[in-house]
Amino acid sequence: MRVAADLYYTKEHEWVRIDDEKATVGISDHAQEQLGDITYVDLPAAGKRVEHSGTLATIESVKAASDIYAPVGGTVAEANSTLGDHPELVNKDPYGAGWICTLAGVDKADTAKLMTAAQYEQFLKEQ
């Protein structure tokens, strides 16, 4: 299981990378491993406004359907449309090509509610 050092994490196993006013969101390697083979990603529509911890998307796997929650508040700028035809990218590359969406107008203060990579690794050990 990999934990990317440059990301923030939630207790629900989402990650976020913040660059200026844009945030890229996905699920952690641990989350995709727990879900198993991902078969479908219900992506959010561009322009959708989400609050911190609000429902952002849904991922379906051979095991279950799971909601994805927004690690930070913002407005959906872009969804990863490649996942429509290739949802398995979330399994293969959760921190790269398997990203879910980008958010614009994010409140960087929301990161205070998230875990650093080191904190997330410790959280996983305690699970």
Task: Find tokens 């959760």 and name the residue.
Answer: 94
**Rg, Å, the chain Cα set:** 13
Question: What distance in Å separates the CA atoms of residue 108 and residue 14, rounded to the nearest whole number?
Answer: 16
Q: How far apart are alpha carbons 76 and 46 in whole angstroms?
A: 5
How many other β-carbons are positioned within 10 Å of the β-carbon of residue 21? Answer: 13
Structure tokens at 51: 């609050």
What is the DSSP-derived secondary structure letter of residue 115? Answer: B
The answer to whether 45 and 79 are in contact (CB under 8 A) is: yes
pLDDT tens, position by position, 30-83: 999 999 999 999 999 999 999 999 999 999 999 999 999 999 999 999 999 999
Q: Tens of pLDDT along 83-119?
A: 999 999 999 999 999 999 999 999 888 899 999 999 9
List, in order of start, the domains of the chain with CATH numbers. Answer: 8-119 (2.40.50.100)
